[in-house]
Chains A and B, each alone.
Chain A
Amino acid sequence: MSVIDLLGIYTAYEGGDKPVIKDLSLSVDRGEYVVIGGPNSAGKTTLLESINGLVKITHGSATVCGLDVARFADTVRTRVGYVIQNFYFDPFTPFTVEQVVMMGRFGRLGLMNRPARADYDAVQRAIALVGIEDLAHKSIGTLSGGQQQKAMIAHNIAKEPEVMMLDEPFSNLDFHAREYLQGVLKELVRTGIPILMVAHAFDGLPDIRIRLVVMNGGKITYDRDCTAGEVDGIIRKECKVNGKC
């Protein structure tokens, strides 16, 4: 069975007259590196949030990690990493990077349980993996946008998820940081964790088999394997064919 199984799902927001996701089906297996592209408002973010139950699907079925998302959304979210697209932490936020990374494990720890040895170890590993040891004790609100993105990636790695979803995670990062973090993601894929990454810039993609999914108007209009070098060209072509981009 696939890790993610979406079958004919529709998603609508309250007040919207049309569904944002329309009759979309998608299966993702272990060890897949899925890059999701497409124009603004194609429904990429909504697709990710349908997978972890942050938005409710109105029709169809969604099964993630063997669980029905509609019924077990909380549990699904403890097992699926999700780096959200937009966030802002004000300079007075009273949490250090290390504390924020630990929060990635709060869901899976469950109500009332305290972090134990294993949790602190996972946090240190995630911080080392992303390469932000020097920021660990800094207040998160005083960091640059790129440093905060790294912290949020570490937060989700510390979670030790079974699926990793990232929504334009590198928008504030320089080329070296992008390349470095792509290497980190490549390692995750190698251990079998499937990755779904929404992106607009495709430099620094790892030299592994990439599954490119292009969305347009709430549907998947392209879904095929390719190499890192081909991604940019295919997206340009796919978007032109469909009018926008």
Chain B
Amino acid sequence: MLEPLIQNNVVCHALEAMIFASIACSILGVIISRMNLSSIGFTMSHAAFAGAAIGMFLERNAQVAAVVFSMAVAALIGPVSDKAKMAADATLGVLFAMSMAVAIFLISYMEYMGKGLSASALLFGDVISLYREEIYALAAVCCLTIVFVLAFYKEVSAIMFNMKIAEAAGVRVKLVYYMLLFIVALSVALSLNIVGGLLIFVLLVTPASIANQFCFNLKSMFIAAPLVALSVSAIGVWAGFEFTLPIVPLVALLLTGVFALSVMLSFKRRISKKRY
């Protein structure tokens, strides 16, 4: 998509992938960090990891298996929390452990059987060798995320405010909540082997936290978080190729640096010394 602007195909694909992953994850991050669901990043990336392991074990396409398995896990979060009367966060913990166990079990088993599996690509991503289809899929998820937030802005803001009050107002809380989980699952599963589990978690949490330091209302958070994520990712991709540095950890470090800076500069934390 950016080919006319950037001559080098590898750089171009890396930049596109990072931009789409940044936008999708940081928008979703604004919602889930407000709802104390940040650990969904952990859970879903490990679910995708387990799915990929299952795919390899069954000698099927690992990427497709990752998407399918993480959808299944996402579909479980809501109902399991409802049934078990647990906070969604606890359910996420249980499902995280389950996914991890499945993945490790299968990987150890495959090693034992002499079949190798490169797990490091899933954990740390690989933005250098991408297929065109992977970028299209990420672009689609990015659009889906934006359309979801625009179409259900009212419902999303009500459940971010207070689930119980939203439900009492007659908002279709469950429906929107389950759609949200579904989209998060899709984004994480598709971003996983591109940006890796680590950066997904950073992209879900950090841009939203940066926006939260400066924004008083939700609209500005939904704009600021993806802008920050996108700019930092672009800088990271450029610096990575320019100085031959590993792009993904670099972007994670840069975002964390921006976060530290924003906490120091935040005017929300300033205490007035006025006497009148």
Contacts and interface: CB of A to CB of B under 8 A. Distances in A.
B168 A77 contact: yes
B8 interface: no
B171 A106 contact: yes
A14 B164 CA distance: 18
Contact of A94 (B154, B155, B171, B217): B217
Given A87-B164, A103-B165, 18 more contacts: A54-B168, A74-B172, A76-B170, A77-B169, A93-B161, A94-B218, A95-B157, A95-B161, A95-B218, A103-B157, A103-B166, A106-B155, A106-B158, A107-B171, A109-B154, A111-B175, A115-B154, A155-B165
Interface in B133-190: 151-152, 154-155, 157-158, 160-162, 164-172, 175
Interface string A71-97: 000111111001010010100111110
Contacts of B167: 54, 77
A100 B161 contact: yes
B207 to A, nearest CB: 15
Contacts, number: 81
A159 interface: yes
Contacts of A84: 164-165, 168
A238 to B, nearest CB: 29
Interface of B: 34, 85, 151-152, 154-155, 157-158, 160-162, 164-172, 175, 212, 215-218, 221, 268
Contacts of A139: 216
Question: Which size class do A's interface residues fall under?
Answer: 35 or more
**Which 9 residue pairs are nearest across A and B when measured between Cβ atoms?**
A107-B170, A78-B170, A77-B170, A107-B169, A82-B168, A94-B218, A107-B171, A103-B158, A106-B154
A112 interface: yes
Nearest to B212: A92
Contacts of B217: 94-96, 99
Given A94-B218, A95-B217, A96-B217, A78 B161 contact: no
Interface of A: 14-15, 52, 54, 74-79, 82, 84, 87, 89, 92-96, 99-100, 103-109, 111-115, 139, 152, 155, 159
Nearest to B162: A87
11 contacts: A15-B85, A74-B172, A84-B164, A87-B164, A95-B218, A103-B158, A107-B171, A108-B170, A109-B154, A111-B175, A113-B154
A104 B85 contact: no
A94 B151 contact: no
A110 to B, nearest CB: 9
Contact of B169 (A99, A112, A115, A159): A159
Contacts of A99: 157, 217
A47 to B, nearest CB: 15
A106 B166 contact: yes
A32 B176 CA distance: 36
A214 to B, nearest CB: 25
